[in-house]
């Protein structure tokens, strides 16, 4: 694909954990010979995520984008859903653009399992690129300092916290329970206080990996797509008796 001087629109109406993964597509576009003008269209409540990202030219809600009557070079739809718009696109790729992407819709929505794919590989494929190890692109630098010996735990279920104490070889004196933060950037501030992270939460997992923390992921249910841990983490399937 020739990205020269292209005006690109990327749609993603999925949950915040998936949007964090999809942000990696930005890094793939940045590697192209000539940079493109990039517009992300996301749910209104997720717009703030890209507040500090200077690699993105525009961030719009779906309501704002619906009013646009412009011509763009490329539409990339990264989440199953309605892509109707007043704008005109010379090319399009992703969900809703090709019949053969139906199987990827099944994968991402949880009804089918593709062990050979990771979520990152899926998003790059949908974008017409090949994933070559690119990471997330939130571009936020935490305002906290890291204590390497501190182990952050983010698990709301008390039984899961007990699993950590019973089965993982960690020093109980170094464990710190990460406080809940709805805002992604404040959550990253808390995660960054720790050298390692233990969590059952996908959002926390991806934010911790974006900050290059070693992550112990407590897997409470099988995923439809393979998790990409960048060789910096480990998955622990949780026995049923800890999920009661």
Strands 7-12 and 37-42: parallel
Closest CA to 106 of 92, 118, 95, 120: 95
Three-state secondary-structure class, residue 232: coil
Q: For residues 196 and 54, what is the distance between their CA atoms, to the nearest angstrom?
A: 28
206 in Cβ contact with 227 (< 8 Å):
no
Closest CA to 39 of 71, 2, 84: 71
Q: For residues 24 and 186, what is the distance between their CA atoms, to the nearest angstrom?
A: 20
At 7, the pLDDT band (50, 70, 90 cuts) reads: very high
- Among the residues of the chain, which ranges form H helices? 16-22, 24-30, 62-65, 102-108, 119-126, 158-167, 184-191, 202-210
Q: For residues 193 and 178, what is the distance between their CA atoms, to the nearest angstrom?
A: 9
155 in Cβ contact with 198 (< 8 Å):
yes
Quickly tell me which residue has 């954990």 as its tokens: 17
In the chain, what are the domains?
A: 7-126 (3.40.50), 147-242 (3.40.50.2300)
Opening angle at CA 20, ends 150 and 162, nearest 5? 40
Mean pLDDT, range 109-132, rounded to an integer: 86
Helices (H) and strands (E) in the chain, counts: 8, 12
Q: What are 171-210's pLDDT values in tens digits?
A: 888 999 999 999 999 999 999 999 999 999 999 999 999 9
Q: What are 11-41's pLDDT values in tens digits?
A: 999 999 999 999 999 999 888 766 789 999 9
Mean pLDDT, range 154-171, rounded to an integer: 86
């Amino acid at each position: 694909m020739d990205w020269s001087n292209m005006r690109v629109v990327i749609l993603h109406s999925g949950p915040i954990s998936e949007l964090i993964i999809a942000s990696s597509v930005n890094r793939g576009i940045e590697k192209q010979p000539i940079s493109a003008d990039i517009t992300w269209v996301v749910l209104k409540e997720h717009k703030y995520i890209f507040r500090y990202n200077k690699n993105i030219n525009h961030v719009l809600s779906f309501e704002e984008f619906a009013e646009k009557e412009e011509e763009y070079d490329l539409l990339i739809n990264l989440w199953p859903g309605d892509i109707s718009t007043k704008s005109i696109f010379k090319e399009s790729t992703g969900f809703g653009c090709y019949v053969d992407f139906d199987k990827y819709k099944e994968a991402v929505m949880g009804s089918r399992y593709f062990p050979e794919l990771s979520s990152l590989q899926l998003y790059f494929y949908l974008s017409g690129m090949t994933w070559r190890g690119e990471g997330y692109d939130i571009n936020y630098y935490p305002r906290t300092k890291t204590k390497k010996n501190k182990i952050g735990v983010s698990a709301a279920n008390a039984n899961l916290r007990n699993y950590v104490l019973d089965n993982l070889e960690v020093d109980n004196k170094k464990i710190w329970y990460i406080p809940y933060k709805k805002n992604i950037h404040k959550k990253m501030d808390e995660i960054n206080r720790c050298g390692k992270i233990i969590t059952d939460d996908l959002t926390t997992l991806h934010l911790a990996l974006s900050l290059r923390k070693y992550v112990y992921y407590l897997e409470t249910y099988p995923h439809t797509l393979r998790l990409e841990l960048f060789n910096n983490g480990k998955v622990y399937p949780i026995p049923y008796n800890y999920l009661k």
